[in-house]
Chains A and B, each alone.
Chain A
Amino acid sequence: GQNIDQPTEMTATEGAIVQINCTYQTSGFNGLFWYQQHAGEAPTFLSYNVLDGLEEKGRFSSFLSRSKGYSYLLLKELQMKDSASYLCAVYNAGNMLTFGGGTRLMVKP
């Protein structure tokens, strides 16, 4: 089966750095996505990793280790608007995208 785990909730302070972890066990691997979803809104694309290593895009970075079945999303210089749910999703060998339960991040002043 497919199993993707992420923490349910995290809290961080404005201006700080936060790391949201995602571990996965899937039948094959064809890529990992991170999406951001604000309450009541549609998920929006943040990052894509298919090779091991770090992908940096502004304040957001995403890391992947395929051998460990592990990824993290790093958010720097946190802003209040970063309060949202962050969804980790993995494409398996059958090209089905499976989402984790999401991590609800609360940024406090």
Chain B
Amino acid sequence: KAGVTQTPRYLIKTRGQQVTLSCSPISGHRSVSWYQQTPGQGLQFLFEYFSETQRNKGNFPGRFSGRQFSNSRSEMNVSTLELGDSALYLCASSLVPGSNEKLFFGSGTQLSVL
């Protein structure tokens, strides 16, 4: 059974550009959540999707957005990139949302903003 797949693995952008990251969950998993990981802040929750609906959103500006498709694949978009957006973006999936559901993480997309 394939794990959570994130593409691309590495990305270099310049300030002001926009970027789209992709996440394919484990087959059968319908819940996808996104996290930003930086050395100083640790993992910070971005948003969670289930059945194409955003269930929860973290404390990030509106430049960060996401969506989920009918096949449970998810994308996140960051517009007007800033230097501080440089981070590892992790996607995680679970069968359904729920406080007792363990998350399966992808290897992440390392975004560098120059």
Contacts and interface: CB of A to CB of B under 8 A. Distances in A.
Interface of A: 30-31, 33, 35, 41-45, 48, 50, 87, 89, 91, 94-102
B43 A87 contact: yes
Given A45-B103, A91-B99, A101 B58 contact: no
B56 interface: yes
Contacts of B43: 43, 87, 89, 99, 102
Contacts of B56: 94-96
B42 A96 contact: no
Interface in B55-87: 55-56, 58
Interface residues on B, range: 20 to 34
Given A99-B42, A100-B42, A102-B42, A42 B107 contact: yes
Interface of B: 4, 33, 35, 41-45, 48, 55-56, 58, 90, 97-100, 102-108
Given A42-B90, A94-B56, A95-B56, A101 B42 contact: yes
A42 B108 contact: yes
A30 B98 CA distance: 9
A29 B24 CA distance: 29
